[in-house]
Amino acid sequence: MSRSDVSEVSEMPETMSGATTQMQVGISPVRKFANIGMSIIILLATILVVTPLIAIFGYLFAEGIGAIKLIELPANNIRHTLTAGSLLLALTIMVSILSGIALGQTLNAKSLPKFKLISNIIGGAPAIVLGISLFAFLGLTNNFNGFGTLFGIAALVTPVLFNVSERIASNPEVLDNMSASLKIPKWATGLLVALPLLLAAGFLIRQGLALDYLNLDFFVKSPAPEGEAGGGLANAITGSFIMLTLASIIGVVVGISGGIFLAEYPRHPLMPIVRFLSDVLAGIPAIVMGLVAYGILVSSRGFSGYAGALALGFLMIPIVVRTTEEVLKLVPVTVREAGLGLGLPQWIVTLRIVLPAAASGIVTGIMLALARVAGEAAPLIFTAFGSNIVNLNPSQPMSALPLEIYRGATSAYDENQRMAKAGALLLISMIFVASLLARKFSNRK
């Protein structure tokens, strides 16, 4: 590359005349080529980075939906599928742009903070609901996977379009022009925000009712014996839910306390040790945590949901500690001083003033930690172990979604593999919603 040219540039500060010559000469073709070439390479690399996500999402949509069988239509009608699918695609894009514009407008209308929160929640919803209505339509494409992949891409494009149009619409000038031309009062804007949501929900319900094929086995039944068709993942869904609840108790209590300790007692002699060990714990592989939980609980008492929850809780702690510490440090000192100046003891200042001020950030941290451990199967293999029936007692072996995915995906039977794909679709959707919510929360900071 143009090394000599570049060194010329970096030597430039020594003389003013050098700079003027450079300006007169202009940029040499080699440098120009390097500049343009690198920007193209960077663009291509970015596309390459994002591709796996789209591919995974599309694949799971295409495959997982067939196993969930939310709606089943007579197959072999590709033309019907195509027509309906293209219509939905157009609808998706239109609705996401529309709802984005509506949200952008609402956000900039300087309305009440409460209204802002509501519209924020609703604003996140269209993408989710559209995703669900895509689920419904994909039922049509059971044996036409390429088309399902297309829909997976559409589902990912939706939030992007939504974000883009939200941004454009929250530009004050666009807003002024629009509200001037449309003359919409505030409540009508709110309705406009809710409209896509209602439309999509209504569409979904109508489809479901009209076809009468709504199959909820996936959510309410335990797995069928290995290799047989039918059944569901109810055992994994309840198991995941129970263990994550127990894990969050450990993760939230210890994590927030650790964060408070690091942020509010910076001069305590133990502070550097706690900070260092918390960082170290964040880097320890999940499977090693599984071995630790095995040593603590399983080797003496056998496999149990408690042991799984313990391992997951350990994994949550460092994430919650770090985010809590960071947001607590963002709370201005003046806020603390104001509280102390009123004669409040420090612990009341911490609990009643500083923590609420940092609440949204802490919730973000908890959501991120949950999203992280919800997908962990490695620490559960030797702790929760798995169970083929719905088990609500955490002192017994329990199943979890990632565990079922792992077992199913490595199974030799086609039916189990399909179930694993369906479980993966459910898991990935839940995790995406959690990170979407976490993002919305942190944006309000």
Partner 1 sequence: MSDASKKPANSMMSSGSDRIFEYIILALASIIVLIFFVSLYELGKESWPTLQKIGFNFFVTRDWNPVENEYGAISMIIGTIVTSLAALALSVPLAIASALFIAEYAPKWLADPIGYLVELLAAVPSVVYGLWALFVIAPVLNKWQTTFFDAENYPDRFQLFLDCSKLWAENQTSFQCFFVPSSASGRGLALAIIILTVMILPYTASVARDVIKLVPQDQREAMYALGATKWEVISRAILPYARAGIMGGVILALGRALGETLAVAMVIGDSQDTIKSIWASASTMASVIANQFGDAQEELHRSSVVTLGFVLFFISVIVNMLARFVIQRLTPKGIKL
On whether the CB atoms of residues 135 and 216 are closer than 8 A, the answer is no
Closest CA to 353 of 329, 333, 336, 334: 336
In the complex, the smallest distance separating the C-beta of residue 393 from partner 1, rounded to whole angstroms, is 22
Angle at CA of residue 296, ends 294 and 302, nearest 5°: 55
Q: How is residue 141 annotated by DSSP?
A: G
Cβ-count burial of 26 within 10 angstroms (0-12 exposed, 13-18 middle, 19+ buried)? exposed
Task: Please pick, from the candidates 198, 205, 220, 288, the single residue that binds partner 1 as defined by CB under 8 A.
Answer: 288
- If one counts every other C-beta atom within 10 angstroms of the C-beta of residue 324, the result is 26
User: In the set 410, 413, 414, 445, which binds partner 1 (CB under 8 A)?
Assistant: 410
- C-alpha closest to that of 407 among 383, 385, 379, 425: 385
Amino acid at 225: P
Number of residues that bind partner 1 (CB under 8 A): 101
Q: Which single residue is written with the structure tokens 């030799």?
A: 412
Instruction: Name the minimum Å distance from CB 41 to partner 1.
Output: 7
CB of 302 to partner 1, least distance (A): 14
Query: Taking contact as CB under 8 A, which single stretch among the options 67-75, 83-91, 213-221, 399-407 is the one that binds partner 1?
Result: 399-407
Show contacts with partner 1 in window 250-279 (CB under 8 A): 253-254, 257-258, 260-262, 264-265, 268, 270, 273-274, 277-279
Strand partners, 385: 398
* Nearest distance, CB of residue 387 and partner 1, angstroms: 15
Binding mask 34-73 for partner 1 (x = CB under 8 A): xx--xx-xxx-xx-xxx-xx-xx--xx--x----------
Phi, psi of 352 (to 5 degrees): -100, -20
Indicate which single residue of 75, 90, 112, 167 sits in contact with partner 1 (rule: CB under 8 A).
167
Residues numbered 112-151 forming contacts with partner 1, rule: CB under 8 A: none
Identify the three-state secondary structure at position 33.
helix
The residues, any chain, with a CB within 8 Å of residue 380's CB and separated by 6 or more, are 243, 290, 308, 311, 312, 386, 400, 402, 403
Tell me the window of 31-39, 121-129, 177-185, 222-230 that interacts with partner 1 (CB under 8 A).
Answer: 31-39
88 counts as binding partner 1 under rule CB under 8 A: no
Q: Which residues touch 420 (CB under 8 Å, ≥6 apart)?
A: 404, 405, 406, 407, 408, 409, 411
Which residue in 420, 422, 429, 441 binds partner 1 (CB under 8 A)?
420
C-beta of 41 vs 220, nearer to partner 1? 41
- Residue window 226-255: x/- pattern of binding to partner 1, with contact defined by CB under 8 A: ---------------------------xx-
Choice from 90, 121, 160, 335 touching partner 1 (CB under 8 A):
160
Q: Does 179 bind partner 1 (CB under 8 A)?
A: no
Would you mind telling me the total number of residues written for the chain in this entry?
445
Residues 309 to 338: which contact partner 1 by CB under 8 A?
314, 317-318, 321
Q: Please state the closest distance from residue 168 (CB atom) to partner 1, in A.
A: 7
CB 207 to partner 1: min, Å: 27
Taking CB under 8 A as the criterion, which residues in 345-384 touch partner 1? 345-347, 350, 371-372, 374-378, 381-382
Shortest Å, Cβ 402 to partner 1: 5
Nearest to 136 by CA among 123, 155, 122, 121: 155
